[in-house]
Structure 1
Amino acid sequence: MPNLDRAPVVASEFAPVRVYLNTAAVGLIPARSARAARAALDEGVAGLPPDFFGPVDEARASYARIMGVGADRVAVGTSVVGYCALIAASLPAGAEVLTAEGDFSSLVNPFHVRGDLKVRTVPLERIPEEVGPGTALVAVSAVQSSDGRLADLPALRAAASAHGARICLDVSQAAGWLPLDAGEYDFTVTVTHKWLCGMFGLAFLTVPEDFGGLLPLSAGWVAGEDPWASCYGPVTELAGTARRFDEPQSVACVAGARSLALVEEVGVEAVRRHDLALADRFREGLLRLGHEPLPSPGSPIVSVPGLGGRRTALSAAGIEVSDRAGSLRAAFHLYNGPADVDRLLDALDR
Structure 2
Amino acid sequence: MDGGPGGPQSGPMETTETFESLVRAEFTPKSIYLNTASNGLLPARTVAALHEAALLRAEGRPATPLYEDVEASRAAYARLAGVPDTRVAAGASVAAHTGVIAASLPAGAEVLTAEGDFTSVLNAFHVRGDLKVRTVPLERIAESVRPGTALVAVSAAQSADGRVADLAALREAARTHGARTYVDFSQAAGWLPMDAGAYDFTASVSFKWLLGPHGAAFLTVPEDFGGLTPVLAGWVAGERPWDSCYGPVMELARSARRFDLTHALFTYAGLRRSLALVEELGVAAIHAHDVALADRFREGLAALGHEPVPATGSAIVSVPGLGVRQPGLSEAGIEVSDRAGNLRAAFHLYNTAADVDRLLEALSG
After TM superposition, is the score higher than 0.5? yes
State which of 354, 358, 364 in structure 2 corresponds to 1:339. Answer: 354
SS at match of 1:233: coil
**Deviation, structure 1 residue 4:** 7.4
8 Å Cα contact 2:23/2:349 also seen in 1: yes
SS at match of 1:121: strand
1:97-156 CA-partner distances (Å, limit 9, x unpaired):
000000000110000000000000000011001101110000000000000001111100
SS at match of 1:130: coil
Q: Residue 45 of structure 2 corresponds to which residue in structure 1? A: 32
Once residues 356 and 92 of structure 2 are traced to their aligned partners in structure 1, the CA distance between those partners, rounded to angstroms, is 33
Q: Residue 184 of structure 1 corresponds to which residue in structure 2? A: 198
8 Å Cα contact 2:33/2:335 also seen in 1: yes
Letter of the 1:12 counterpart: A
Q: Residue 303 of structure 1 corresponds to which residue in structure 2? A: 318
**Deviation, structure 1 residue 9:** 1.5
**Deviation, structure 1 residue 5:** 9.6
State which of 39, 43, 46 in structure 1 corresponds to 2:59. Answer: 46
Letter of the 2:223 counterpart: E
Letter of the 2:25 counterpart: S
Instruction: Indicate whether 1:271 and 2:286 are aligned.
Output: yes
Q: Residue 73 of structure 1 corresponds to which residue in structure 2? A: 87
Q: Residue 210 of structure 2 corresponds to which residue in structure 1? A: 196
State which of 244, 247, 269 in structure 2 corresponds to 1:255. Answer: 269
Q: Residue 104 of structure 1 corresponds to which residue in structure 2? A: 118
* TM-score, normalised by the number of residues in structure 2: 0.94
Which consecutive aligned stretches of 4+ in structure 1 deviate over 2 angstroms post-superposition? 2-6
State which of 152, 156, 181 in structure 2 corresponds to 1:138. Answer: 152
Once residues 96 and 279 of structure 1 are traced to their aligned partners in structure 2, the CA distance between those partners, rounded to angstroms, is 36
Once residues 106 and 268 of structure 1 are traced to their aligned partners in structure 2, the CA distance between those partners, rounded to angstroms, is 25
Letter of the 2:165 counterpart: A
8 Å Cα contact 1:5/1:334 also seen in 2: no
Q: Residue 83 of structure 1 corresponds to which residue in structure 2? A: 97
Once residues 149 and 72 of structure 1 are traced to their aligned partners in structure 2, the CA distance between those partners, rounded to angstroms, is 31
8 Å Cα contact 1:5/1:336 also seen in 2: no
Once residues 4 and 110 of structure 1 are traced to their aligned partners in structure 2, the CA distance between those partners, rounded to angstroms, is 45
Instruction: Indicate whether 1:20 and 2:44 are aligned.
Output: no
Once residues 20 and 5 of structure 1 are traced to their aligned partners in structure 2, the CA distance between those partners, rounded to angstroms, is 22
**Deviation, structure 1 residue 53:** 2.4
SS at match of 2:35: coil
Sequence identity, in percent? 65
Once residues 20 and 160 of structure 2 are traced to their aligned partners in structure 1, the CA distance between those partners, rounded to angstroms, is 30
1:43-91 CA-partner distances (Å, limit 9, x unpaired):
1111112125211100000000001100000000000000000000000
Letter of the 1:325 counterpart: A
Once residues 310 and 162 of structure 1 are traced to their aligned partners in structure 2, the CA distance between those partners, rounded to angstroms, is 46
SS at match of 2:143: helix
State which of 21, 24, 27 in structure 2 corresponds to 1:8. Answer: 21
**Deviation, structure 1 residue 180:** 1.1
1:8-50 CA-partner distances (Å, limit 9, x unpaired):
2211111101000000010001111111111111111111121
Q: Select between 86-95 and 242-251 the one with higher mean Cα deviation.
A: 242-251
Once residues 274 and 121 of structure 1 are traced to their aligned partners in structure 2, the CA distance between those partners, rounded to angstroms, is 34
Once residues 246 and 56 of structure 1 are traced to their aligned partners in structure 2, the CA distance between those partners, rounded to angstroms, is 11
Q: Residue 235 of structure 2 corresponds to which residue in structure 1? A: 221
**Deviation, structure 1 residue 6:** 6.2
8 Å Cα contact 1:286/1:345 also seen in 2: yes
Q: Which runs of 5+ in 1 are unaligned?
A: none
1:284-321 CA-partner distances (Å, limit 9, x unpaired):
00111111111000001001111100000000000000
SS at match of 2:194: coil
Once residues 132 and 99 of structure 2 are traced to their aligned partners in structure 1, the CA distance between those partners, rounded to angstroms, is 15
8 Å Cα contact 2:81/2:194 also seen in 1: yes
Instruction: Indicate whether 1:330 and 2:330 are aligned.
Output: no
Q: Residue 212 of structure 1 corresponds to which residue in structure 2? A: 226
1:149-201 CA-partner distances (Å, limit 9, x unpaired):
01111100000000110001000000000011100000001100000011111
* TM-score, normalised by the number of residues in structure 1: 0.98
1:257-300 CA-partner distances (Å, limit 9, x unpaired):
11011110000011000000000000000111111111000001
Once residues 25 and 187 of structure 1 are traced to their aligned partners in structure 2, the CA distance between those partners, rounded to angstroms, is 23
Once residues 132 and 62 of structure 2 are traced to their aligned partners in structure 1, the CA distance between those partners, rounded to angstroms, is 48
SS at match of 1:293: coil
Q: Residue 235 of structure 1 corresponds to which residue in structure 2? A: 249
8 Å Cα contact 1:3/1:274 also seen in 2: no
**Deviation, structure 1 residue 251:** 1.5
User: How many residue pairs were aligned?
Assistant: 349
Alpha-carbon distance change, 6 to 346 in structure 1, aligned in 2, over 3 angstroms: farther
Once residues 183 and 36 of structure 1 are traced to their aligned partners in structure 2, the CA distance between those partners, rounded to angstroms, is 31
Instruction: Indicate whether 1:287 and 2:308 are aligned.
Output: no
Letter of the 2:113 counterpart: T
